[in-house]
Amino acid sequence: MSDFVDRVTVHVKGGDGGNGSAGIKREKYKPLAGPNGGNGGDGGSVVFEATRNANSLLDYRFVPHRAAGNGTMGLGDTKDGSKGSDLILPVPVGTVIFEAKGPAGKPKHPGEQLADLRHEGDRFVAAYGGAGGLGNAALANRTRRAPGFALLGELGEERDVILELKSIADVALVGFPSAGKSSLVAAMSSAKPKIADYPFTTLVPNLGVVMAGDSRYTIADVPGLIPGASEGKGLGLEFLRHIERTEIIAHVIDCATLEPNRDPMADYEALEHELAEYADKLELPLGAIPIPDRPRIIILNKIDVPEAKELADFVRPDFEKLGMKVFEISTASHAGLKELGFALASLVADMRAEVAKREEAEEEARVVIKPLEQGGRRRRRADEGGNALDFTVERRENADGSQFWFEVRGTKPERWVMQTNFDNDEAVGYLADRLAKLGVEDELRRQGARPGDEVRIGRGARAVEFDWDPSIAAGAEMLDGAQLGARGKDLRLETEEPGGRRRTNSERRRQYHEMMDARAAVREAMAAERAAGHWADPSIDDDRHDETSLFGRGEDAE
C-alpha cells in the first residue's frame, strides 16, 4: 500500500453551540428575584493549517470525518458556558481545498476552490462552530422582565471538502517510464521508493529532501508522463498537476533505452509538447511563473553503460544549443550527482527569490476597493452576499402540482428557527415576534399566502415546517397588559381559553376608541353635574328617591 495520498475527501463539522439557560434567581424572601440564566458557549471551528511537517494527506484517508468540540450549556447565576475547542488540522504546504460536489453516497468531485494554502502558516476555516444560545438573562428587557425560555445553541457548519495536494517539491523530475527518476530520488536523498525495470513502476510521486551544503530543497518524480498524458492517456492528468507549483523542471532522459524510435531529443520534444498542452489548461496562482518560462535542465542518465555514455556525449551539444544546462549522471555509480545537487540548489535559490519578487509585485498591483461609510444599513439581495437582514420568500410546489408551500430563506430566519425550542409556547411566540418584525409575514401576504398554508423556513435536513397563522404576532411576556400565569406559556397558542385569541390591530384600534369615547362621555357628565351644583354640599339631599342617601330613605324620609 502506498504511503503518499494527494487527494482525499474530508467531512468536517463545526462544534454545536451550547443552549442558553432559563434559570430564575432565588433569594431569601424572594422566591422569584429575576432571570439569571447564562448564555451557552460557542462551538469550535475546524481549521486547516499548512505546515512543513506534513508531506501527505494519508491521515485523512483513514480518518475522513473530523469534528470540533461543542460548546457547553449556560448555567444559573448568569454563568456562561465554555467555548468548544477548535480543531486544527495540519496539511502539507501547497494544499488546495475545494468544495465537494456530487450526490450523497457517491464519489465526490471538486467544485469551487475555497482556499489555496501556499505558504507555511496559511489557514482556512472549513467549518465554523455554531453560536451559543442566549440565556433568559440576556433576553430580558423593559417589557419582557422574566422570560420563561432561552435560545438553543446553533448547529455547527457541516460539509464535505476535497483536499488536493498540487506539489510540495522545488524540482520536478519528468521523463518517460523507467528513465530512472525514482532511482535518482533515492540516490540524492534518503527516500526509499520502489524501483523496478518495468514501465509504470511508480504510481504515486516520490518525494526526497536533498542537502547540498547549507541548501535544502525537495525533489519529486512525476510518474506517468507519456505522449498523450494531457489527453488522459497513461496516468493522465492525475499527476501532471504536481508540476504546477514546482520551480524547476528537470528532464531525466534514458540514454540506455532499447525501445525503437526513441532517442534523447525525441523524448525531450515529446514531453515538452505534453507540458505545453497542459499549461494551456492551467490557471496559475498569484505570482507563479508560467510553465514555459520555468528553467529546464537536462539530466542524461545511465552513463555507466558504455553505449549510453557515447550517446550522451553525442547529444549534449544539441541541448546546449537550446540554452539549457546538461548533466551526465549515473544513479548506479553516483557519477555526476554531486555537481547536479549543487547546481539544482543554486537554481532553486534563484527561483525562490524570483517567485517572492513576483508575489510582492502582484500584491502591490492589486487594487483594493473599500466601501464608503454609510449612515445606515444597506439592504442587499442574499445572492449578492448581503447582510443577515435579508430573506426571500418563494412559492414552490411538487412535480405534479398537488402540493405547494412557501419557502423562506435567509440567514436570520434560518438561524432563529434553529434557536427556538418548539416545546416552549413562549419561545414560539418570541419567534413569531421576530419574524413579524423582520417582515416575513408581510412578504408571505404579498406572495399570496393564506392562514393554514404550509411554510418552510430553511432547506434540507434543517428545514422547519409549520402551518402559517398570522394571528400570532405580539409580545410573549405581556398579552393585553396582563401578566401570563405560567412561565413558558403563551395565551396566543391556547385558543380554547377565553381571551386566548390574539386581537387584530383593527379590533384593538376600535376598542381603544370606544374606551376613549366612554371616558370623554363620563367626564362631560361629571362636568355638567358640578356646574349644576350637584355634590357641592354633602348636607343637601339632591335625590329624594335615593335609598342610599345619608339623610333619609327616599320620599318617605321626609
Q: Which residues does the annotation place in the binding site?
A: 175-182, 200-204, 221-224, 301-304, 330-332
User: By three-state DSSP, how is residue 48 classified?
Assistant: strand
Residue in the structure block whose three cell numbers are 412557501: 406
Separation in Å, CA 304 to CA 258, 267, 336: 15, 20, 11
Tell me 27's DSSP state.
B
User: By three-state DSSP, how is residue 465 classified?
Assistant: strand
Given strand 464-467, what is the order of strands in its sheet? 392-397, 404-409, 454-457, 464-467
Round to whole Å and give the CA distance between 355 and 322. 24
Residue in the structure block whose three cell numbers are 355634590: 535
Determine how many CB atoms are found less than 10 A away from the CB of residue 364.
7
Strand partners for 49: 90, 123
User: By three-state DSSP, how is residue 78 classified?
Assistant: coil
Given strand 206-212, what is the order of strands in its sheet? 206-212, 215-221, 171-174, 248-254, 296-301, 325-328
User: By three-state DSSP, how is residue 341 classified?
Assistant: helix
Round to whole Å and give the CA distance between 337 and 295. 19
Strand partners for 109: 101
Round to whole Å and give the CA distance between 250 and 170. 11
Residue in the structure block whose three cell numbers are 520536478: 172
Radius of gyration of the chain (CA): 39
| Binding residue positions for Mg(2+) | 182, 202
Q: How far is CA 262 from the centre of its chain?
A: 51
Q: Are strands 95-101 and 158-165 parallel, antiparallel or unpaired?
A: antiparallel
User: By three-state DSSP, how is residue 444 classified?
Assistant: helix
Q: Are 148 and 137 in contact (CB under 8 A)?
A: no
Q: Are strands 95-101 and 109-117 parallel, antiparallel or unpaired?
A: antiparallel
Tell me 99's DSSP state.
E
| Binding residue positions for GTP | 175-182, 200-204, 221-224, 301-304, 330-332
Q: Please count the CA atoms within 13 angstroms of the CA of 539 that sit on its side-chain side.
A: 0
Helices (H), 87-219: 136-139, 181-188
Q: Are 269 and 324 in contact (CB under 8 A)?
A: no
Q: Which three cell numbers stand for residue 512?
A: 381603544
Round to whole Å and give the CA distance between 302 and 208. 20
Find the length of the chain: 558
Residue in the structure block whose three cell numbers are 444559573: 76
Round to whole Å and give the CA distance between 443 and 407. 11
